[in-house]
């Protein structure tokens, strides 16, 4: 994949990084320079203090530059012929920079928060070997280590404020006009040595890693090959390696917003890894490593610096396991894998059926807040919480079926049968209680129906052929009905004729977003409504092929109901509407692999 | 010691107790009563999660709130309520003649974690704010909820949990706080039992001090210190394994190594003092570094001026209570400084990073790091001395090399002069006041100025600590943090040691 300033693959929208690297590069829209972020602390990028602006130096002075490159490395060029600098990121906690002909680079610490400047720096010192160590609190330590040339730094401390006002590091050439420098990230006092591999070797390693990553997916036919490359890149460059609280590799959601491993994201990504179901299983299992020891809930997200366990996300793990085994068979699940995961899965089901139980004596459940719903601002929650919605019943049903699968693979047929029966009962309750003939409604605990034109009302179609044909057929009709949900870009998250539809900063109150399109496409496909599934997939995937895997899209410039112009978020800003995200990429891959591969 | 009431200055001080997160606070602006929890780490803004008021229907009634006989009393024209804290982390309320309302708090919301009042299927009602769940259980009387939802704000604009008395006008409620969903305990607590338990525990803390607080100010300082003790919680990845004393119950729920180590010197029981040290030594990172700060969710490994030696010098009996395992833990921690901050050519220890002196971000630090500072080398000498003595007592093979290291450092210390020097050999500016640490080696004088950041170890460790405490004016100031409270207690300790 070719990256270049002012082209489709500019770094205005795409994070430049690679698997296992916590750094990433972006292009600043206003400055037209690159900047470096490090997603170690789990901050939203908009509130991250760890940002380095990158200036290209010629003869010691910053000059405007152009960039281009591929997954292996990036080149920075100016108007001056024959002068360049290069950089690459590695999966081993360091970056490599180099250049010739008296070029250099400057990194300036400059927080994304106004007024914070160099606040991330706690201390900077010159080490005996000529490198510079910077201690950055929760972001860890960084060493700017020259291989050729030298490193100079300026660290100005404001005693009155009690923090650094300025921190700049220059990588400067030697007497031959060449420089090469590593920026190494680590924790603790034992500093890693400079890696001995050459720039060329490291670049090859990046390209090899990217090529190998394709093996996790089913290969796609033309005309999807280019799109496939973009999607696979997007997931590959969001893979986080173990560090701090992160014990196993997981997939980050965004490099520039929620730069953490969200719980249900791992399951979304698992649904796409149909070329490597073992890795899919690992991703599903990953979040269970952080299971709450008291109540069995899974946290919302994990990153090297924190575990966010004050809430839960929707329990998508069961759906993912069910889907992957439907597409790939169950044989890849060994007895050992099943025996290890089954009790943890059962505890999650127990958590939901204990703490979110409606209280009628069955397993009907509610969600207590937007985080648990995943579809944060869907209009099915217009009357607040608790809400007895179709999506949570669906996910619980899938968790129960997943417990049946794991029981079967663990050799316990009786338990498998019991879990299947329990899932079937909850499925009956879902249909009996919430299907009104046209859609799955949401109710309050007292039974009051929440009027809603949300796509969330149809998301239970993800149960596929477990639902009666008349239901899936009706859902297919409703989703393709003119003037409702179907747009040129896929299904809108709120009917386009809803007075609540909002296409600005809201997430699932109108925009065409990846996750519910994926649920509907996969569900309809497995239910046998393949034509409907393909229509929706064509729209979503075709749009992504053109505009990239962003989290969501505005369906039109005017609201059909009122004729008013759409609410907008003035771009650019650091936020999820702007960049390519692994969530959208994996959802699109899952659709493509299901419908086209 | 029998205590009739908690010596807090309510409402300035929060009403709280050791080993519980919950507290009752009064808002400076409105004078309203809030329930809150000690924040995790530096995540401030959980001290006022929900407002507690008497009400008639939806109407909030005017009321006064005061502390009486170990409980908080909320009084209004129609009746009154008594509140106390019980374990585990619950507010116990007994009221007569009034209904109560738990309403919108002032705490900062986390992402999609704003206030929310829920009548769910479990017993009682749930009030959620800033990631904290407060389950309101009416043991006598009942609860109800008023909630609405703002789809744009993704929050309830005015969440309310109502607590209604029974037909006889009696109301008894327990509120349980947790980070996540838990079934509330079935056992019931009572105000009187909770108050008695609280006062008894505080009394035992006072009995456990080397020097009983000699006046009201010191008693209040003891309360602030005692109530700063926070328990480890059962999380997926807890970062502390034993209770620790945090810096400020309302604002800063992180525990500093220096506070917890120095507090050990003030505890009469050497075994208990040793436990304070163990709480942090257990958090060593594999390189020997002990975190300078820790709480349930995070550890910060930025080593600061090590004060173990100050405690051992002031309290040889604490050293006598240490075990083989303690020696090994301390030896590893000492090893970090010897491996990473010792210059064998000079025979002296140094600071590399500007936070290492441990006196705050506004303190000066040389541009020419490393710094060979007096206070660091004095503290290392005291630590090496203690470790050599401990190794001798335990018959450890490390005893000889520790003695040798102690001798060498002792010989090199005079080369530092009054203040120490930087990498270029320039004498350090004395703005940090590190030269005062020579007092810990027996230098008998009272300096012109006692640096605030170093007052506590100096008061504890210097033979004329009482004079230093007077010079530092530890009495008569604002005491809102653990550090200031410890300085007051240390003044009494130094005076008693005489």
Residues A533 and A579 in one domain: yes
- Considering only the beta carbons, identify the residue of A137, A187, A297 that sits closest to B181: A297
- Considering only the beta carbons, identify the residue of B121, B151, B182 that sits closest to A357: B121
Kindly tell me if the per-residue pLDDT of B444 is higher than 80.
no
Residues A319 and A174 in one domain: no
- Asked if the Cβ–Cβ distance from B131 to A310 is below 8 Å, we say yes
| Average pLDDT estimate for B24-44 | 87
Residues A180 and A292 in one domain: no
Q: Measured between alpha carbons, how far is B99 from B101 in angstroms, rounded to an integer?
A: 7
A569 at B interface, C-beta within 8 A: no
A159 contacts in chain B (CB < 8 Å): 362-364
A290 contacts in chain B (CB < 8 Å): 236-237
Q: Hey, of B111, B432, B453, which one would you mutate to test binding to chain A, going by the most A CBs within 10 A of its CB?
A: B111
Domain end position, chosen among A149, A177, A205: A205
Which pLDDT tens digit goes with each residue over A266-289? 999 999 999 999 999 999 999 999
C-beta of residue A268 within 8 angstroms of C-beta of residue A583: yes
Residue B136, pLDDT score: 97
Indicate whether A211 belongs to any domain: no
Pairing state between β A179-186 and B50-56: unpaired
Q: How far is B377 from chain A (nearest CA, A)?
A: 20
Residue B108, pLDDT score: 62
Closest CA to A484 of A437, A442, A447, A536: A536
Indicate whether A210 belongs to any domain: no
A109: Cα separation from own chain's centroid: 26
Q: What are phi and psi of A96, to 5 degrees?
A: -120, 135
Residues A118 and A160 in one domain: yes
Indicate whether A212 belongs to any domain: no
Q: pLDDT band for position B474 (50/70/90)? A: confident
Residue A288, pLDDT score: 97
Which pLDDT tens digit goes with each residue over A345-370? 999 999 999 999 999 999 999 999 88
Residues A163 and A221 in one domain: no
| Average pLDDT estimate for B433-441 | 93
Q: What is the CATH number of the domain that holds A162?
A: 2.70.98
- Considering only the beta carbons, identify the residue of B154, B179, B234 that sits closest to A310: B179
- Considering only the beta carbons, identify the residue of A307, A376, A385 that sits closest to B236: A307
Q: What DSSP character marks residue B282? A: T
Residue B113, pLDDT score: 56
Q: Measured between alpha carbons, how far is B239 from B232 in angstroms, rounded to an integer?
A: 8
Q: Hey, of B152, B159, B236, which one would you mutate to test binding to chain A, going by the most A CBs within 10 A of its CB?
A: B236
| Average pLDDT estimate for B222-244 | 94
Q: What are phi and psi of A385, to 5 degrees?
A: -125, 155
Q: Which chain B residue shows the shortest CA-CA distance from A355?
A: B181
Q: Which chain A residue shows the shortest CA-CA distance from B301?
A: A188
- Cβ burial A287-303 (10 Å sphere, 16+ → b, else e): bbbbbbebbbbbbbbbb
Q: What is the CATH number of the domain that holds A464?
A: 1.50.10.10
Using CA of residue B482, residue B487, residue B492, residue B496, what is the dihedral sign? positive
Residue A575, pLDDT score: 52
Token representation of residue A383: 């009357």
Residues A307 and A453 in one domain: yes
Residue A197, pLDDT score: 98
Residue B47, pLDDT score: 86
Q: Measured between alpha carbons, how far is A270 from A587 in angstroms, rounded to an integer?
A: 10
C-beta of residue A173 within 8 angstroms of C-beta of residue A179: yes
Residues A182 and A248 in one domain: no
Closest CA to A306 of B131, B18, B282, B358: B131
A310 at B interface, C-beta within 8 A: yes
Domains in chain A, number: 2
For the ranges A231-240, B64-73, B478-487, which has the lowest average pLDDT? Answer: B478-487
Size of interface A-B (CB pairs under 8 A): 136
Q: Which chain A residue shows the shortest CA-CA distance from B126?
A: A368
- Opening angle at CA A596, ends A590 and A597, nearest 5: 80
Rounded-to-10 torsion of CA B121, B127, B128, B134? -90
A137 contacts in chain B (CB < 8 Å): 300, 302
Q: Where are the beta strands (DSSP E) in A346-499?
A: 442-443, 449-450, 486-487, 490-491
Q: If you write DSSP's letter for every residue of B146-161 in order, what string do you get?
A: E---BTTTTB-SS-EE
Q: Say yes or no: ipTM exceeds 0.95.
A: no
Residue B387, pLDDT score: 98
Token representation of residue B259: 């506070």
Residues A184 and A58 in one domain: yes
Of A85 and B28, more confident? A85
First-to-final CA distance of chain A: 21
**Segments of chain A with pLDDT less than 50:** none
What residues of chain A, 153 to 182, have a C-beta less than 8 Å from chain B?
157, 159-163
Residues A62 and A140 in one domain: yes
Kindly tell me if the per-residue pLDDT of B429 is higher than 60.
yes
Give the list of residues 6+ apart from residue A352 with CB closer than 8 angstroms, or none.
Answer: A315, A365, A392, A396, A399
Q: Hey, of B180, B234, B350, which one would you mutate to test binding to chain A, going by the most A CBs within 10 A of its CB?
A: B180
Q: Hey, of A46, A47, A125, A306, which one would you mutate to test binding to chain B, going by the most B CBs within 10 A of its CB?
A: A125
Residues A227 and A360 in one domain: yes
The second-level CATH assignment, the architecture, of B214-497 is Alpha/alpha barrel (1.50)
Using CA of residue A458, residue A459, residue A464, residue A466, what is the dihedral sign? negative
| 3 state SS of A513 | strand
Q: How far is A361 from chain B (nearest CA, A)?
A: 11
Residue A374, pLDDT score: 86
Which pLDDT tens digit goes with each residue over B75-115? 999 999 999 999 988 999 999 999 999 998 887 655 555 67
Residue A577, pLDDT score: 61
Indicate whether A200 belongs to any domain: yes
Q: Where are the domains of chain B?
A: 22-196, 214-497
Q: How far is B183 from chain A (nearest CA, A)?
A: 8
A351 contacts in chain B (CB < 8 Å): 181
Give the list of residues 6+ apart from residue B434 with CB closer than 8 angstroms, or none.
Answer: B357, B373, B374, B375, B376, B419, B420, B428, B451, B454
Q: What are phi and psi of B286, to 5 degrees?
A: 95, -20
Rounded-to-10 torsion of CA A408, A413, A416, A422? 170
A362 at B interface, C-beta within 8 A: no
Closest CA to B84 of B98, B101, B67: B67
Whole domain around residue A127: which residue ranges? 3-188+196-205
Is residue B384 classed exposed, middle or buried when 0-12, 13-18 and 19+ CB atoms within 10 A define those classes? buried
Q: How far is B108 from chain A (nearest CA, A)?
A: 15
Q: What are phi and psi of B62, to 5 degrees?
A: -65, 145
| Average pLDDT estimate for B438-463 | 91
Q: Which chain B residue shows the shortest CA-CA distance from A304?
A: B298
B304 contacts in chain A (CB < 8 Å): none
The continuous run of DSSP H or E covering B283 comes out as none
Q: How far is A389 from chain B (nearest CA, A)?
A: 15
A310: Cα separation from own chain's centroid: 20
B41 contacts in chain A (CB < 8 Å): none
Residues A181 and A226 in one domain: no
Percent of chain B topping pLDDT 70: 98
Q: Hey, of B110, B150, B184, B237, which one would you mutate to test binding to chain A, going by the most A CBs within 10 A of its CB?
A: B237
C-beta of residue A497 within 8 angstroms of C-beta of residue A560: yes
Q: Mean of the per-residue pLDDT values for chain B? A: 93
Kindly tell me if the per-residue pLDDT of B317 is higher than 70.
yes
Closest CA to B256 of B412, B11, B491, B483: B483
A142 contacts in chain B (CB < 8 Å): none
C-beta of residue A502 within 8 angstroms of C-beta of residue A492: no
Q: What are phi and psi of A30, to 5 degrees?
A: -85, -45
Kindly tell me if the per-residue pLDDT of B44 is higher than 90.
no
Residue B112, pLDDT score: 55
Residues A200 and A289 in one domain: no
Closest CA to A405 of A298, A297, A314, A329: A329
Q: Measured between alpha carbons, how far is A574 from A567 in angstroms, rounded to an integer?
A: 18
Closest CA to B454 of B318, B316, B305, B341: B305
A306 at B interface, C-beta within 8 A: yes
Q: Measured between alpha carbons, how far is B42 from B254 in angstroms, rounded to an integer?
A: 6
- Asked if the Cβ–Cβ distance from B121 to A359 is below 8 Å, we say yes
Of A97 and B214, more confident? A97
């Amino acid at each position: 994949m070719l990256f270049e300033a002012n082209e489709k693959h500019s770094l205005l929208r795409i994070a430049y990084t690679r698997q296992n690297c916590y750094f990433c590069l972006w292009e600043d829209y206003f400055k037209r320079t690159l900047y470096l972020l490090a997603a170690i602390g789990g901050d939203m990028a908009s509130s991250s203090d760890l940002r380095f602006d990158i200036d290209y130096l010629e003869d010691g002075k910053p000059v405007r530059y152009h960039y281009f490159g591929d997954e292996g490395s990036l080149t920075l060029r100016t108007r001056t012929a024959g002068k360049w600098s290069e950089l690459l990121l590695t999966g081993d906690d360091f970056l490599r920079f180099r250049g010739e002909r008296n070029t250099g680079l400057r990194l300036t610490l400059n927080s994304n928060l106004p007024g914070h400047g160099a606040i991330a720096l706690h201390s900077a010192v010159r080490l005996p070997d000529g490198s510079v160590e910077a201690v950055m609190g929760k972001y860890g330590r960084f060493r700017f280590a020259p291989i050729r040339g030298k490193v100079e730094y300026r660290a100005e401390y404001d005693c009155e404020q009690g923090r650094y006002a300025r921190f700049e590091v220059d990588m400067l050439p030697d007497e031959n006009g060449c420089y090469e420098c590593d920026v190494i990230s680590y924790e603790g006092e034992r500093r890693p040595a400079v890696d001995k591999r050459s720039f060329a070797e490291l670049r090859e390693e990046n390209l090899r890693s990217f090529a190998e990553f394709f093996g996790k997916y089913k290969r796609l036919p033309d005309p999807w090959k280019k799109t496939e490359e973009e999607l696979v890149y997007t997931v590959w460059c969001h893979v986080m390696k173990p560090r701090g609280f992160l014990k196993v590799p997981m997939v980050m959601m965004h490099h520039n917003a929620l730069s953490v491993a969200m719980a249900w994201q791992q399951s979304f990504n698992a649904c796409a890894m149909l070329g490597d179901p073992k890795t899919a299983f690992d991703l599903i299992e990953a979040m269970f490593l952080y299971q709450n020891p008291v109540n069995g809930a899974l946290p919302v997200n994990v990153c090297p610096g924190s575990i966010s366990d004050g809430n839960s996300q929707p329990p998508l793990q069961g759906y993912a396991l069910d889907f992957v085994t439907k597409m790939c068979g169950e044989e890849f699940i060994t007895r050992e894998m099943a025996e290890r995961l089954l009790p943890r899965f059962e505890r999650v089901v127990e958590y939901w059926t204990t703490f979110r139980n409606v209280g009628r004596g069955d397993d009907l459940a509610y969600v207590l807040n937007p985080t648990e719903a995943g579809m944060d601002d869907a209009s099915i929650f217009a009357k607040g919480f608790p809400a007895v919605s179709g999506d949570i019943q669906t996910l619980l049903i899938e968790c129960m079926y997943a417990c049946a699968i794991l029981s079967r693979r663990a050799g316990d047929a009786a338990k498998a049968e019991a879990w299947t029966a329990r899932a079937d009962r909850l499925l009956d309750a879902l249909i009996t209680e919430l299907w009104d003939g046209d859609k799955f409604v949401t109710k309050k605990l007292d039974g009051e129906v929440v009027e809603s034109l949300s796509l969330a009302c149809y998301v239970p179609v993800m149960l596929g052929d477990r639902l009666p044909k008349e239901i899936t057929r009706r859902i297919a009709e409703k989703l393709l009905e003119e003037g409702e949900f179907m747009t040129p870009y896929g299904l809108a998250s709120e009917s386009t004729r809803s007075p609540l539809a909002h296409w600005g900063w809201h997430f699932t109150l109108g925009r065409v977003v990846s996750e519910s399109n994926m649920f509907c496409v996969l569900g309809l496909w497995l239910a046998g409504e393949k034509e409907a599934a393909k229509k929706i997939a064509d729209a979503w995937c075709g749009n992504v092929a053109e505009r990239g895997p962003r989290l969501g899209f505005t369906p039109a410039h005017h609201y059909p109901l009122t004729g008013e112009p759409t609410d907008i978020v003035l771009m650019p800003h650091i936020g999820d509407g702007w960049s390519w995200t692994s969530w959208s990429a994996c959802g699109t891959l899952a659709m493509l692999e299901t419908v086209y591969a | 010691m029998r205590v009739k009431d908690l010596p807090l200055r309510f409402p300035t001080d929060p009403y709280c107790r050791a080993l519980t997160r919950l507290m009752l606070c009064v808002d400076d602006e409105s004078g309203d009563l809030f329930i809150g929890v000690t924040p995790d780490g530096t995540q401030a803004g959980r001290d006022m999660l929900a407002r507690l008021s008497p009400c008639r229907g939806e109407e909030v009634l005017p009321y006064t709130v005061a502390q009486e006989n170990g409980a908080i009393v909320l009084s209004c024209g129609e009746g009154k309520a008594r509140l106390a804290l019980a374990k585990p982390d619950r507010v116990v309320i007994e009221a007569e003649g009034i209904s109560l309302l738990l309403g919108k708090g002032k705490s900062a919301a986390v992402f999609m974690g704003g206030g929310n009042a829920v009548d769910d299927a479990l017993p009682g009602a749930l009030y959620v704010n800033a990631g904290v769940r407060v389950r309101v259980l009416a043991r006598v009387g009942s609860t109800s909820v008023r909630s609405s939802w703002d789809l744009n704000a993704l929050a309830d604009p005015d969440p309310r949990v109502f607590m209604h008395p029974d037909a006889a006008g009696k109301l008894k409620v327990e509120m349980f706080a947790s980070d996540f969903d838990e079934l509330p305990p079935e056992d019931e607590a009572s105000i009187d039992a909770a108050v008695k338990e609280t006062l008894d525990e505080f009394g035992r803390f006072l009995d456990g001090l080397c020097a009983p607080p000699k006046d009201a100010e010191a008693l209040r300082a003891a309360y602030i210190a005692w109530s700063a003790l926070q328990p480890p919680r059962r999380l997926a990845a807890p970062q502390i394994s034993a209770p620790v004393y945090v810096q400020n119950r309302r604002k800063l729920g992180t525990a500093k190594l220096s506070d917890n180590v120095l507090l050990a010197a003030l505890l009469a029981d050497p075994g208990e003092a040793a436990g304070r040290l163990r709480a942090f030594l257990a958090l060593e990172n594999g390189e020997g570094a002990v975190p300078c700060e820790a709480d349930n969710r995070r550890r910060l490994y930025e080593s600061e001026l090590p004060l173990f030696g100050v405690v051992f010098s002031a309290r040889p009996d604490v050293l006598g209570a240490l075990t083989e395992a303690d020696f090994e833990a301390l030896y590893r921690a000492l090893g970090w400084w010897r491996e990473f901050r010792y210059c064998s050519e000079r025979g002296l220890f140094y600071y590399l990073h500007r936070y290492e002196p441990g006196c705050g971000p506004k303190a000066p630090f040389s541009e020419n790091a490393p710094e060979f500072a007096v206070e660091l080398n004095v503290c290392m000498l005291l630590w090496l001395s203690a470790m050599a003595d401990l190794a001798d007592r335990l018959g450890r093979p490390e005893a000889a090399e520790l003695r040798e290291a102690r001798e060498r450092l002792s010989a090199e210390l005079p080369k530092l002069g009054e203040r120490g020097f930087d990498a270029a050999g320039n004498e350090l500016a004395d703005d940090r006041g590190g030269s005062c640490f020579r007092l810990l080696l027996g230098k008998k004088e009272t300096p012109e100025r006692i640096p605030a950041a170093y007052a506590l170890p100096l008061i504890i460790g210097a033979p004329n600590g009482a004079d230093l405490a007077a010079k530092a004016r530890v009495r008569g100031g604002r005491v809102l943090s653990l550090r200031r409270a410890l300085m007051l207690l240390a003044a009494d300790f130094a005076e008693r040691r005489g």
